[in-house]
A and B are shown apart, each in its own frame.
Chain A
Amino acid sequence: MGKQRLCTISFLLYVLSTTADAASEAPRPRGVGPEFAKFYKDTEAFTCISNPTIKLDIARLNDDYCDCPDGSDEPGTSACSHISPLSFLAVPRTHATQYNETLALPGYYCKNKGHIPSYIPFTNINDGVCDYDQCCDGSDEYEGVGGVKCEDRCSKIGKEWRKKDEARQKSLGAANKKRRELITQAARLKKEVEDRIKTLQTQLQAQEQKVAALEQSLAAVERAEKGKVIKGAGKGGKLTVLASLAKDRIQELVDNVQRVREERDIAKSRIEELEEILRRFKEEYNPNFNDEGVKRAVKAWEDYAAQERPGPDSAKDRDLDEILKPDSESAIKWDEYEGGEESDVDVLYKFEEYLPDSLRQWVDAKLRDLRVLMIENGILADPNTDAPESKTVTDARSQLDSARNELDNDKREITQHQEDLEKDYGPDDVFRALKDRCVEKDSGEYTYEFCWLSKTTQKSKKGGGHTGMGNFARIEKITVDEDLPADGKGLGSGERWVLKYENGQHCWNGPNRSTQIILACYETDEIWKIVEEEKCVYRMEVGTPAVCESRFGSAKKDGSPEHNEL
């Protein structure tokens, strides 16, 4: 509600500045702005602005008693200040919709001669406080209640304001210039990315061809290799060699399992001891202490304790015992496998020995072809897969692999760059120029850091680690309605760009930290204000030239001027 009204005020101010001269002829009742003068021309009677059925004697105008349901008979007093959805009705309605009960006026009009006229809420009239921020001429306290005297300070305040405004305009000029530079830079960076994509695309084509060629040569080499049945000479039966190797290996493994198991048992009992300590710690600590460290530890313990973990499985432990016994039933009888056996390859040769020589040649050739055929069609397993590959194949494959890798890398890079081009870098792509640059500010016991489009951090001055307050997630826009101080370091009102940072470090008893960065136009990158709006939800107000023109751009669109509080 209040927001709406303020918007109206700023709109009216705009109108005002253009029509002020025209309206200055007739004396208006106290508190009436020039744009409402037409309602107050009658010298005999007054008609409530939004409720024209109610006509009052002119004596009831500004007599400090509220007659009109819309408050229009009291433009210069606080008598109608209770007309608001924020107040209960002072007197009940007789008919719910009989009257328009919205305040007809935006507030009390302060002429502020020597400065900019403005409206001040009726609740502030004659309350004993000189509200110079809005009413520099002091006319809001004409009754002097409680002895208050508010002298006219407009010439001084106006002068200061103009001085600051001039500086601000100047700074604004500089800011705009900087922004243009940033945009140029951003465009250049964008161009670089586009160029890189082009280069990569050319490279990609060549690379694809290379890969295709290498694939072919590898296939040829492999085909030649597959014909060979025997690779490398083996002395004695392969099984025997394997058995002796396996025996050594298994013994080694058993020894290691034994050692690991002992270590595990020690670790287990230590964990139990630690868990007991923590359990007691959790029960006995005093939650009244607001010791962050303790709280964090307790929370972490609670989380840990809440996790479901399978208990120790005694059956599995028994299995393990069994495995480790050297002479158990499940143990392998190595002797049975050692020595005396013929190798598998020998058996094959022996089969061929029974054939006549010519036939043997023929059979041999046919058999080889058949094998290759079957292997290539996936009917027969490739014997080479579980045997060392020949060097030629290995070389060919590694060449192909590295070519493929390069191809993938190029593809990935292209995708990355293409995604980057599609990514939102704000108005005119301007944030591209700032990416990963950081700004810092001291605030209380911390230094806060915000890095464009990457992360926000809180660094304690009292020592201790840095706390991540969020990682960049997206760009948004919000509508704000804040004061704009004379030095220009404030959000003002209207639409503003916002950078959202999420998923920072987890908060004890709270969410993951997150930061909202609201940007407003300023000459340099500067953090103005950091507020913890809610537990671990931060808000930074940041000035930057990056959003300067867009601010005016969007403001101009909806027709309202830059917001001036002063």
Chain B
Amino acid sequence: MITRKDSSRSSWMAYFFLLAAWCCLFSPAVMVKHENFKKCDQSGFCKRNRAFADTAAATSSWTSPYALDPSTVKFKDGTLSAVVLKTVGDGEKVKLPLTVTLLESGVARVTLDEEKRQKGDIELRKDSKARKERYNEAGKWALVGGLETSKGAALSEKVEKGYTKVFYGVGGKHEAVIQHSPFGIEFKRDGETHVKFNERGLLNLEHWRAKKEPPPVEEKKEGEEEKQEEETKEPEPQGEDESTWWDESFGGATDSKPRGPEAVALDITFPGYEHVFGIPEHATRLSLKSTRGGDGAYSEPYRLYNADVFEYEMDSPMTLYGAIPFMQAHRKGSTVGVFWLNAAETWVDVIKSKTSANPLSLGTKSHTDTQTHWISESGLLDVFVLLGPTPQAMTKQYGELTGFTAMPQSFAIAYHQCRWNYVTDEDVKDVDRKFDKFKIPYDVIWLDIEYTQEKKYFTWDPLTFVNPTKMGKQLDKTDRKLVVIIDPHIKNTDNYPVVDELKKKELAVKNKDGNIYEGWCWPGSSHWIDCFNPKAIDWWKSLFKYDAFKGTLANTFIWNDMNEPSVFNGPETTMPKDNLHHDNWEHRDVHNVNGMTFHNATYQALLTRDSKGKELRRPFILTRSFYSGSQRSAAMWTGDNLAEWSHLEASIPMLLNQGISGFPFSGADVGGFFGNPSKDLLTRWYQAGIFYPFFRGHAHIDTRRREPYIPGAPYTEIITQALRLRYQLLPAWYTAFHEAHTTGAPIIRPNYYVHPEDEAGFAIDDQLYIGSYGLLAKPITKEGATSVDIYLADDQPYFDYFDYTLYQGAGKTHTVQAPLEKIPLLMQGGNIIPRRDRPRRSSGLMKFDPFTLVVVLGKDGNAEGTLYIDDGETFDYQVGAFIHRKFAFSGARSILTSTNLFADKLTVKAENYLKSMAKVRVEKVIVVNAPKAWKSNKEVNVSEEGAKESARKRGVGLEFFEGGRGKADWAVVRDPKVGVGKGWKIDFN
């Protein structure tokens, strides 16, 4: 009996193991390879600092060992300097110079350095050539302005003992209160604390110390082996755990760490804030989850270490391709933020600490504090504190520091058609013709790596791309563009002048020994250009000259991929941290800005590629890796996603997060990169993709073709409608980009950004507003869904974009029917939306088309909106060559007006531009939610500035339509013939 039972169990076990083994064999193919990437406890400094935090939390009498020496405090011109002393064992004090800079913008910057390293008073191990200082150049790459110190900032005279206090910001409303011992800072606005440094005592700056090397072992003689045993004996642990201080191995690669432990870490608390957003890029929700375990929380910190993550997973704090260490905390009535300027590997723990209401003390309401813990491997502790108080102020302040989004060429916000790969120049031309044949608009076609000759960038495969110039010219005929990929790895091979020059001029990244670094990427053995080197940038520029990179034309643009950098055989698919860059900075110090230096170099190259110095055009570059500041020169996409519904769903919060984090020109691969989407998924993805600021369809080389004309009826027709909708709304998109370019506002906006007072909507991240137009979209991201619930935060009436069905009611969701052919898109009352209704082959061919204005009257009967247009390609807009209008409808007066938002004197270029646009008119005004009183009106009166006296006042036809059940009434002004760049008035009385 017993034996039988046993045997049956063992056979069951055998099946189980067989099944398990089978699963192991196949599932990794569709999942991220976790073992390739570090968890916090595999990254020494993260593990050390998390352990430090655990110790602090577990010690009731925990005191941070950092104290400010009050005798060292100096304050001059808005800058406070002092020395913070770190007490280490034996009462030894380590000097850490502190700088607190108060900026005119109301932002405070806190920088903590280490004197010994600063002065180079340390010794590096293993004859390392690396720099001795903590990396202090991240700002050189990330910051472009907003650094003027506050003139009004002042040291407070009246202050408690043990504290130093500074007033700053507009009207001195901001205060930084520095506690001397233990060292900590509270940032206040209007007397209320919003941000606290070192409240939990987790400040940790790992000071330099020499490694206590074990006594040198006598030189071994041959055959003498008994000593080995002695060598491997671990020294008895004493005091701190040094196991991760000196060398670290992961996945078979060893990091030599010549400078020893050098992490910087700090806890930052946002008292009273339940929601924090930002720190992209992660495949996670907009409102960041806590990371210390528990229900629905992550157990790993958010990681920022730019990496090429193959088939990344959803809902994870795992690192991705780019990093923006900017976090904002939001609550009703206030938004604040911190910008952690550090380019090294960084981990961020988030904890939400709830305080329940105290029934004994009046006025103590229950609230949630968000506590964060920032940990970087090396570099300075350098933090900006932004005190808002609104989401708009937040994006503006951050934008002033790191720069606003570049004004893109108009084609760049239209539709991009990509695939790995269009295989020949004929293939490209054929796809181009097919789009026309099926009457589908598109602007840009892309070439992935296969166009090159054996993955040598700046070459064309002579067999497949026989005549790239002819191909480029065919595209140009319909004002279309070509984007080709250029990556930072340069093939290490013979007969390739680019690599020869790279080597000869010594412009490549070096290994720890100072020799040229060699790793593997697409071409096999490769070297990497080091764009930290100004000479490398100059050389890079020379490669893009039209006469150097033959076959490229003025309509060729560039895609920079793999710039994390991706190194197939490197640790965590990137470079060894002890590699050396220009000026001997270690790769560990600069890793997260590496990608940005590369696409910045390409940006400069595109500006100078015409040797004849002809008219400058705005470059277009797509990058995969990014850092704070990347928005100034590139667009980004969320990398290699999967053709799965979950990835479609995740794209919305990811892009919303990009938007509020200062890099709004972002998109996700429409259709999903890996795998074949079902026709339904593809269709829904296009319907969502038209709301991505960067809108590109892309596919992996192993997938079936899926250009919009492929799926057939009814899908092709539905996708075409979606694409045409994007094109129809391009004037609104372009204006939204202009707003981002001038104010830092996101292009697509989450609910909290538009309705910062609506607490119920703070975490909503699956619906979005386009620019300032009140256009509210909620893409369908669930398989088989035929309706969707849209949340309305305010009590304005909202109207279906297509049939004017009314939805109204604040703080609730409203069900919108959405069969496959329907895009859930609403118009908020109170807005005026500019459109161009004539379908064309590309956006370039719409430049002189007339406009339609959709005036959506709000509950008070008013509406307004803006329109920005320029030539869409040159930099002439910088000298005023643009049209920027404000349209406003006054319900009280029943008059629609167009007024100029640009008051400067006109330059010649500006005048020429206006002249070129003189004939471009408003052909139609649709008033949605029109007053019933207009029912009997047949005419409106139109008057235009500068028109001849006789034509000053014209009667123009008006037609009124009754919407019927549940739908708004509307009226259409028939061809008012007013110039879009002119001042005018339409009187509906």
In the complex with contacts A92-B802, A128-B848, A82-B837 CB distance below 8 A: yes
Verify B426–A305 contact, CB threshold 8 A: no
Verify A288–B568 contact, CB threshold 8 A: yes
Chain B positions within 8 Å of A483 at CB level: 433
Verify A146–B847 contact, CB threshold 8 A: yes
Verify B837–A90 contact, CB threshold 8 A: yes
Closest approach, in angstroms, between the C-beta of A30 and any C-beta of chain B? 17
Verify A288–B724 contact, CB threshold 8 A: no
Give the distance in Å from the alpha carbon of A508 to the alpha carbon of B926 in the complex. 54
Give the distance in Å from the alpha carbon of A87 to the alpha carbon of B729 in the complex. 13
B40 at the interface (CB under 8 A from A): no
Give the distance in Å from the alpha carbon of A94 to the alpha carbon of B437 in the complex. 32
Name the residue on B nearest A80 (C-beta): B838
Binary interface encoding of chain B residues 847-858 relative to chain A, with 1 for a CB under 8 A from any of its CBs, else 0: 111101000000
Verify A443–B424 contact, CB threshold 8 A: yes
Give the distance in Å from the alpha carbon of A94 to the alpha carbon of B566 in the complex. 57
In the complex with contacts A146-B847, A444-B423, A535-B702, A92-B840 CB distance below 8 A: no
Closest approach, in angstroms, between the C-beta of A264 and any C-beta of chain B? 24
Verify A286–B848 contact, CB threshold 8 A: no
A445 at the interface (CB under 8 A from B): yes
Q: Which of B437, B725, B841 contacts A127 (CB 8 A)?
A: B841
Verify B717–A86 contact, CB threshold 8 A: yes
A532 at the interface (CB under 8 A from B): yes
B705 at the interface (CB under 8 A from A): yes
Give the distance in Å from the alpha carbon of A56 to the alpha carbon of B433 in the complex. 38
Give the distance in Å from the alpha carbon of A445 to the alpha carbon of B463 in the complex. 5
Q: Which of A63, A86, A126, A282 contacts B839 (CB 8 A)?
A: A86
Verify A534–B704 contact, CB threshold 8 A: yes
Q: Which of A81, A85, A288, A461 contacts B838 (CB 8 A)?
A: A81
Q: Which of B308, B463, B478, B725 contacts A288 (CB 8 A)?
A: B308
A458 at the interface (CB under 8 A from B): no
A124 at the interface (CB under 8 A from B): yes
Most chain B beta carbons < 10 A, residue from A1, A302, A306 = A1
Give the distance in Å from the alpha carbon of A304 to the alpha carbon of B196 in the complex. 60
Closest approach, in angstroms, between the C-beta of B101 and any C-beta of chain A? 43
Verify A532–B423 contact, CB threshold 8 A: yes
In the complex with contacts A146-B847, A288-B310, A92-B923 CB distance below 8 A: no
Verify A444–B721 contact, CB threshold 8 A: no
A121 at the interface (CB under 8 A from B): yes
Chain A positions within 8 Å of B26 at CB level: 302, 306
Verify B478–A129 contact, CB threshold 8 A: yes
Give the distance in Å from the alpha carbon of A288 to the alpha carbon of B522 in the complex. 8
A64 at the interface (CB under 8 A from B): yes
A401 at the interface (CB under 8 A from B): no
Q: Which of B424, B573, B967, B974 contacts A444 (CB 8 A)?
A: B424
Verify B705–A533 contact, CB threshold 8 A: yes
B25 at the interface (CB under 8 A from A): yes
Name the residue on B nearest A481 (C-beta): B437
Verify A88–B704 contact, CB threshold 8 A: no
Chain A positions within 8 Å of B25 at CB level: 282, 302, 305-306
Give the distance in Å from the alpha carbon of A286 to the alpha carbon of B574 in the complex. 13
Chain B positions within 8 Å of A124 at CB level: 841
Give the distance in Å from the alpha carbon of A445 to the alpha carbon of B453 in the complex. 11
Verify A91–B926 contact, CB threshold 8 A: yes
A123 at the interface (CB under 8 A from B): yes
Q: Which of A89, A121, A290, A445 contacts B802 (CB 8 A)?
A: A89
Chain A positions within 8 Å of B566 at CB level: 288
B543 at the interface (CB under 8 A from A): no
Closest approach, in angstroms, between the C-beta of B872 and any C-beta of chain A? 11
Which B residues from 422 to 477 make CB contacts under 8 A with A? 423-424, 426-427, 430, 433, 437-440, 461, 463-464, 477
Chain A positions within 8 Å of B926 at CB level: 91
In the complex with contacts A65-B975, A288-B566, A510-B702 CB distance below 8 A: yes
Chain A positions within 8 Å of B975 at CB level: 63-65
Verify B701–A461 contact, CB threshold 8 A: no
B916 at the interface (CB under 8 A from A): yes
Name the residue on B nearest A537 (C-beta): B704
Name the residue on B nearest A92 (C-beta): B803
Verify A128–B845 contact, CB threshold 8 A: yes
Q: Which of A94, A126, A289 contacts B962 (CB 8 A)?
A: A94
Verify B961–A88 contact, CB threshold 8 A: no
Give the distance in Å from the alpha carbon of A121 to the alpha carbon of B721 in the complex. 17
Verify B569–A286 contact, CB threshold 8 A: yes
In the complex with contacts A129-B478, A302-B26, A86-B724 CB distance below 8 A: yes
Most chain B beta carbons < 10 A, residue from A84, A121, A127, A537 = A127
Name the residue on B nearest A298 (C-beta): B29
Closest approach, in angstroms, between the C-beta of A357 and any C-beta of chain B? 73
Closest approach, in angstroms, between the C-beta of B792 and any C-beta of chain A? 21
Name the residue on B nearest A529 (C-beta): B426
In the complex with contacts A533-B705, A535-B704, A123-B724 CB distance below 8 A: no
Verify A129–B845 contact, CB threshold 8 A: yes
Name the residue on A nearest B921 (C-beta): A64
Give the distance in Å from the alpha carbon of A148 to the alpha carbon of B850 in the complex. 17
Chain A positions within 8 Å of B848 at CB level: 126, 128, 145-146
Chain A positions within 8 Å of B725 at CB level: 88
A78 at the interface (CB under 8 A from B): yes
Which A residues from 106 to 150 make CB contacts under 8 A with B? 121, 123-124, 126-129, 145-147
In the complex with contacts A81-B838, A302-B26, A90-B721 CB distance below 8 A: no
Give the distance in Å from the alpha carbon of A403 to the alpha carbon of B440 in the complex. 70
In the complex with contacts A91-B972, A128-B845, A461-B463 CB distance below 8 A: yes
Give the distance in Å from the alpha carbon of A509 to the alpha carbon of B703 in the complex. 8
A327 at the interface (CB under 8 A from B): no
Verify B430–A531 contact, CB threshold 8 A: yes
Verify B461–A84 contact, CB threshold 8 A: no
Chain A positions within 8 Å of B423 at CB level: 444, 532
Give the distance in Å from the alpha carbon of A302 to the alpha carbon of B972 in the complex. 64
B804 at the interface (CB under 8 A from A): yes
Closest approach, in angstroms, between the C-beta of A235 and any C-beta of chain B? 58
Closest approach, in angstroms, between the C-beta of A127 and any C-beta of chain B? 4
Closest approach, in angstroms, between the C-beta of B637 and any C-beta of chain A? 17
Binary interface encoding of chain B residues 55-96 relative to chain A, with 1 for a CB under 8 A from any of its CBs, else 0: 000000000000000000000000000000000000000000
Binary interface encoding of chain B residues 914-939 relative to chain A, with 1 for a CB under 8 A from any of its CBs, else 0: 00100100011010000000000000
Closest approach, in angstroms, between the C-beta of A254 and any C-beta of chain B? 34
In the complex with contacts A86-B720, A286-B569, A444-B424, A123-B838 CB distance below 8 A: yes
Verify A290–B701 contact, CB threshold 8 A: yes
Which B residues from 550 to 569 make CB contacts under 8 A with A? 566, 568-569
Name the residue on B nearest A93 (C-beta): B803
Chain A positions within 8 Å of B427 at CB level: 531
B819 at the interface (CB under 8 A from A): no
Chain A positions within 8 Å of B333 at CB level: none
Give the distance in Å from the alpha carbon of A90 to the alpha carbon of B704 in the complex. 34
Name the residue on B nearest A536 (C-beta): B704
Give the distance in Å from the alpha carbon of A88 to the alpha carbon of B837 in the complex. 10
Give the distance in Å from the alpha carbon of A534 to the alpha carbon of B711 in the complex. 12
Give the distance in Å from the alpha carbon of A508 to the alpha carbon of B700 in the complex. 13
Residues of B within 8 A of A (CB): 22, 25-26, 28-29, 308, 310, 423-424, 426-427, 430, 433, 437-440, 461, 463-464, 477-479, 522, 566, 568-569, 573, 701-705, 717, 720-721, 724-725, 728, 802-804, 837-841, 844-850, 852, 916, 919, 923-924, 926, 961-962, 964, 967, 970, 972, 974-975
The 6 A-B residue pairs with the shortest CB-CB distance, nearest first, are: A127-B845, A145-B848, A444-B464, A534-B704, A509-B702, A65-B975
Residues of A within 8 A of B (CB): 1-2, 63-65, 78-79, 81-82, 84-92, 94, 121, 123-124, 126-129, 145-147, 282-283, 286-290, 302, 305-306, 443-445, 461, 483, 508-510, 529, 531-535, 537
Q: Please, could you name 28 A-B residue pairs with CB atoms under 8 Å apart, sorted by A?
A: A1-B717, A2-B438, A81-B838, A85-B717, A86-B440, A87-B724, A87-B839, A88-B728, A91-B926, A91-B970, A92-B967, A94-B962, A121-B439, A127-B840, A127-B841, A127-B845, A128-B847, A129-B841, A129-B845, A286-B569, A286-B573, A287-B29, A288-B308, A288-B566, A290-B522, A306-B25, A444-B464, A531-B430
